Amino acid sequence: MGKIFTVNFPEIGEGVVEGEVIEWRKKVGDVLMQDEPVVVVMTDKATVELPAPHPGVLKKCYREVGGIAVKDQALYDIEVEGNDDPEPSHDEKSEPTVLKRQPEVIDKEFSKKTSNSVAPKDSTQILATPKVRGLARQLGICLSSIRGTGDDGRITVEDLHPHASQEVVSGQSAIFHLPGDEEQPLIGIKALMAKKMTESKAKIPHFSYFEDTDATRLIQLKDNSKLKAKAEGIHITFMPFILRALSVCIKKYPILNSSYDAERSKVILHQRQNIGIAMSTSLGLIVPVLKEVEKLGLEALIRSYEDLIQRARSSKLLPSDMKEGTLTVSNFGSIGNHGLWATPIINYPEVAILAIGRIHQQPIVKNGMIIIGDRINFSWSFDHRVIDGDLASQISRSFCSLIENPAALL
């Protein structure tokens, strides 16, 4: 008989202290290979597969599906051969895989009630499932004022009932149900995005700025580059050219690539241009980040962008691909080839976001004549604490000039 090795729930992201078990890929008694996915866990940041750090046999699972795994607490046991402690995995620094698709979450009560009401062990960490947090927001309840009755002081749905008022804080009627209504829980990426967007709108004073731009030369440049890219097996879109223009614009206006620290009233100017690419999926929005764009020429940018998008579509992104973004781009116009204008929500703590409408034809006046021109619309949202209207117009005009004269991007 070998030795039992306990695998704890690891740190899989900054500030992540717990996760909801949504699927066991292996069952007790199964043989595990090193780095083979064992369990799928949903945190408030992402849904990830956790691989086995050592080969062995799965002996015990400490959390059922729907249960909450807590950082540094036991998640499962592996029986390993021999009596010595297993050597650390050579791939210990490799990260769990971010999933684009999530299995269905079993709808059941996650926490067992205890007889006594206890407060969380660490008052700075409020333990509650995404479902409880969302309901608390709807009811206008501050979770820090509640003593949880679940395991380790976890706050349950029942704990919210005594604190629920007839009216939510905003003065609107409380959430109600009519006969025949159905509940549809937000899980995985959609739950994360709901939380993120609520945080962004609450913390950032948004204002939007729009510009209609001539896309004639951009189309020509893309078509000319398409032949070479096709020969190399690369699918080319307008996005790399737009990202390149954005990178050049950032060099002129570094404030565009910054974050605002409200507590210290300081703007953090980021030296690296880590541009997030908002992608729509059937399960929600993901924002993989293209790192250090400032170091990439146009050809390298085309390849790096294509690689990132392909890994996102094949669910091969790592957690590191989803963080440290400094500016976000949303290509909403590519979805069904619809959409001209938008008022995008900034990805907190960034200070701006750019939304790209579809390229379309419309009548324009040129040299006193009405002609049909190729146009592309850009919709910006800015953090008004950092970028005012005058600066926003300068940034937008500089960016659009590059789109109208893209030879400067080569």
Query: Active-site positions?
Result: 384, 388
* Cα separation, 361 vs 366, whole angstroms: 14
SS3 378: strand
Exposure on the CB side of residue 280, measured as CA atoms within 13 A? 7
The letter for the amino acid at 284 is G
Residues of the chain by 3-state class (helix, strand, coil), percent to 5: 30, 25, 45
* DSSP state at residue 283: T
H helix intervals, 46-148: 130-139
Q: Are 58 and 30 in contact (CB under 8 A)?
A: yes
H helix intervals, 253-364: 298-313
Place of tokens 């996102």: 312
Q: Are 167 and 142 in contact (CB under 8 A)?
A: no
Residue 193 sits at the vertex; the CA angle it makes with 264 and 147, to the nearest 5 degrees, is: 70
